[in-house]
Amino acid sequence: MDSQLGTEEDGNDPTSDNSDAISIPEIECSGMFGYAVGHFYNDLCASMWFTYLMIFLERVIHFRASVAGFLMLVGQVTDAVSTLFVGIASDSFCLPFFFKNFGRRISWHLIGTIFVTLSFPFIFNNSLLSVNAADIWKICWYSSFIVIFQFGWAAVQISHLALIPELCTDSSFRNTLGSLRYFNIEFDILISSFVVVGVGIITSLLFYLTTKEPNNIRTLSRLNSLSSTASELVKMSYKKWFCHLQFYQIALLYMFSRLYINISQVYFPFYITMAVNLSKKYIAVLPMISYIFSFIISTIVGIPVVNKFVGNKVLYFFGCLLGIAGCVVMYMDRTMVSVFFATVLIGLAQGVVLVSVLAVTADMINKNTESGAFVYGAMSFLDKLANGIAYQVLELINPGCNTSVADEKCNSFYSNVISLVPAGCLTLSLLILLTLSKQNIGVRHRNISTHTGFFLK
């Protein structure tokens, strides 16, 4: 058999000294920098999408809350379907002939970048639509560009994530790559989306010029198979992942993590203006503070020395505690000092939770890089679908916050949404983490009695 991907055991110690018999080169510093900027464009767009789209649709375009929620649902469902499609296509080397020289991951990254560039400037731009245009035409206009954008965004995200287990095999370096890709940045809604596209294209070009995708997967796989004498040569197909309990556990962990992060971002501007009654300038200032602290903490936990001594499960647990603390502060007190303190806690929690859950996912994939994009696609499919449904449900129960009569109801609604919903997601995440506490992530055992089925301890 040509390739072994993953760690299969029949009772031997996976940490045997023989596992280090062959040293597999890790990614160079220039490659790490290139990888880091490879998701910068997506993060620029995501920061505007999650932080400002809902408030843009309701306050600038004057859509009803239910319509704004519907457009978010369209985007998230498109993203969900696209992540699964791109994951399977990327693993299967399904590419147009003129992209094949780039490699299976970077090619899909490039395709996604093109789609994002052609669509994103139109999402936050209402100057091309007539003021008197009917709502149905406006919905069709924004839906079309949202669908194109979300397909491109998904292609970039999945291909970039799938590179992590291929660029390096050491778990601490994988964590470093996971933290470097978290290059979120803040932009005020008044800054043109064309600036985002311009900066994003530059950083994407840096990614293409400095990151080289491994072009001999079979050779790398052989080295991986020799790195552990306890391993069996087993290739993980898409179907085999569905036979692993850990696949479902980590999928739920990833889903609730993303729900916490995205709902916190989407409804934070509404909380600032409707529940705390701060001026509009804080719609840019407070998310900026949150992103800065997210970047700082994700950089710290991404240092190889740090994540070698602190496990991903411990980091995730710590991030959940920070996030729940931030939710409690926002629910209990709405003073300026408390809001700033909660903002810092949210930023720290989002950074730690995202980096650690990505690291856990990479650990689960282990050396099964032949289906790594599918795994990330499946995780993102569940995440995007859950997010879209959550936004639509929350907007349907929105008390109608465009009227002055509903001010008190709106204050209570947004205060509850920004605190209770994210806290609930983190609480469920902790319960799932508890079921993973005694498991070795990514260690797969063959069912000796049948030699066909797989299960996880």
3-state secondary structure 351-397: HHHHHHHHHHHHHHHCCCHHHHHHHHHHHHHHHHHHHHHHHHHHHHC
Q: Under a CB-based contact definition with an 8 Å cutoff, are residues 269 and 435 in contact?
A: no
**Can you tell me the mean pLDDT for 10-22?**
41
Mean pLDDT over the full length of the chain: 77
Domain boundaries, the chain: 7-12+28-217+237-455
The model's pTM:
0.73
CA 55, CA 69: separation in Å to the nearest integer? 11
Output 457 or 319, whichever has higher pLDDT: 319
Percent of the chain predicted with pLDDT > 70: 73
Q: For residue 263, what pLDDT is reported?
A: 94
Residue 169 clears pLDDT 80, i.e. is over it: no
For the chain, report the end-to-end CA distance as a whole number of angstroms.
26
Q: For residue 391, what pLDDT is reported?
A: 92
Instruction: Return the CATH number of the domain spanning residue range 7-12+28-217+237-455.
Output: 1.20.1250.20
Residue 191 clears pLDDT 60, i.e. is over it: no
* 453 pLDDT tier (thresholds 50, 70, 90): very low
Dig out the tokens for 328 from the structure: 């409690």
CA 355, CA 283: separation in Å to the nearest integer? 25
Q: For residue 410, what pLDDT is reported?
A: 82
Residue 3 clears pLDDT 60, i.e. is over it: no
**Can you tell me the mean pLDDT for 66-91?**
89
Write out pLDDT tens, residues 413-451.
999 999 999 999 999 999 999 999 888 887 776 553 444
